[in-house]
Amino acid sequence: DWNMPDYIAEAVQKIRDQVGDEEVILGLSGGVDSSVAAALIHRAIGDQLTCVFVDHGLLRLNEGKLVMEMFAGRLHAKVVHVDATEQFMGHLKGVTDPEQKRKIIGREFVEVFQVEAGKLPNAKWLAQGTIYPDVIESGGAKSKKAHTIKSHHNVGGLPETLGLKLLEPLRDLFKDEVRELGVALGLPHDMVYRHPFPGPGLGVRILGEVKQEYADLLRRADAIFIDELRAADWYDKTSQAFAVFLPVKSVGVMGDGRTYEYVVALRAVQTQDFMTAHWAELPHSLLGKVSNRIINEVRGINRVVYDISGKPPATIEWE
């Protein structure tokens, strides 16, 4: 059991001692770890921290707005918001292979981040939301195996190419400790208890070629699903839940007309460690409501299916 105010005071002092009067740059993703790291470092050094938020066009609905409201608006942190949608979409054009898509998204992310870092020549530090399990994973043999199945996108390699020193204030913390810290630093509960979201984002939830049009449809369908999960008190009972865009068309009827539109799959799982997972037995009434709302509200989708595959053999993501 730890005393949170003491912990924060110590962590803040440690960051100040480490950094002195130098400047720090941090890649903010909207995820739990980078958000808590940003809030803690900002508490310690204020405007010596610049957060860079790269929008690759594959984020959840309103993500950019929420991140800016929270960090620039409420915390008054310096945040650079980069809309790199066109650059990412351009490089993803015609690419259908999942691993290839991950590589491109990871590479472009590093590229955009480097350009932004170049605009902050005084920055001497790169801050990252690395947490204890990441530290074990990157050194452990166990994870190597998991990682050959899908290459996980992160910003590994950035500090070397940027010539920056690494600041990782969450290195000793487990996920639940990071969350407690986030709440104590004033971050909203919903942000701190969010489901994980993969680095390549909707890029691996749009099967095959990624198109802006598909991302826009998927974002809206996904937001409806998450909305209804929260309303039904199921969000916290699932470990991860999201919509997947299937670029196949099926026939439907709407009024007196025939429709021929895309399919969305819903995925919700329960898991301890994300290595194995059960599909969540969501109430049929909840699934029905989500399906009705998506089909009525998202023009372009006329069919919704629910994924009832466990991991293994299926993975949590569809790509």
CA distance to 153, 201, 265, per residue, from 102 (Å)? 7, 9, 21
Does 263 belong to an annotated binding site? no
315 is a site residue for ligand XMP (CB under 6 A): yes
Which of 40, 44, 75, 316 contacts ligand XMP by CB under 6 A? 316
**Interacting stretch for ligand XMP, rule CB under 6 A, among 150-158, 177-185, 207-215, 299-307?**
150-158
Nearest residue to 169 via CA among 41, 302, 52, 281: 41
Which of 29, 181, 198, 205 contacts ligand XMP by CB under 6 A? 198
Nearest residue to 16 via CA among 37, 43, 44, 58: 44
Contact between 52 and 24 under an 8 Å Cβ cutoff? The reply is: no
Does 97 belong to an annotated binding site? no
Nearest residue to 298 via CA among 306, 287, 290: 290
Please, which of residues 93-122 interact with ligand XMP by CB under 6 A? 102
CB of 140 to ligand XMP, least distance (A): 16
CA gap 220, 247 in Å, rounded: 16
34 is a site residue for ligand XMP (CB under 6 A): no
152 is a site residue for ligand XMP (CB under 6 A): yes
Does 30 belong to an annotated binding site? yes
Which of 153, 194, 219, 303 contacts ligand XMP by CB under 6 A? 153
The residues near 231 (Cβ < 8 Å, ≥ 6 apart) are: none
Does 32 belong to an annotated binding site? yes
CA gap 184, 165 in Å, rounded: 27
Max Cα separation, the chain? 70
30 is a site residue for ligand XMP (CB under 6 A): no
CB of 207 to ligand XMP, least distance (A): 13
Inter-axis angle of helices 32-45 and 4-19, to 10 degrees? 70
Between 217 and 246, how does the x/- string for binding to ligand XMP read (CB under 6 A)? -----------------------x------
Does 208 belong to an annotated binding site? no
Which of 200, 225, 268, 290 contacts ligand XMP by CB under 6 A? 200
CA gap 317, 225 in Å, rounded: 16
Instruction: Compute how many residues bind ligand XMP; rule: CB under 6 A.
Output: 15
CB of 269 to ligand XMP, least distance (A): 8
Which of 30, 129, 182, 199 contacts ligand XMP by CB under 6 A? 199
175 is a site residue for ligand XMP (CB under 6 A): no
73 is a site residue for ligand XMP (CB under 6 A): no
Between 269 and 298, how does the x/- string for binding to ligand XMP read (CB under 6 A)? -----x------------------------
**Interacting stretch for ligand XMP, rule CB under 6 A, among 71-79, 194-202, 215-223, 281-289?**
194-202
Q: What residues are designated binding site?
A: 29-35
Binding site for ligand XMP (CB under 6 A): 102, 150, 152-153, 196, 198-200, 204, 240, 274, 311, 315-317
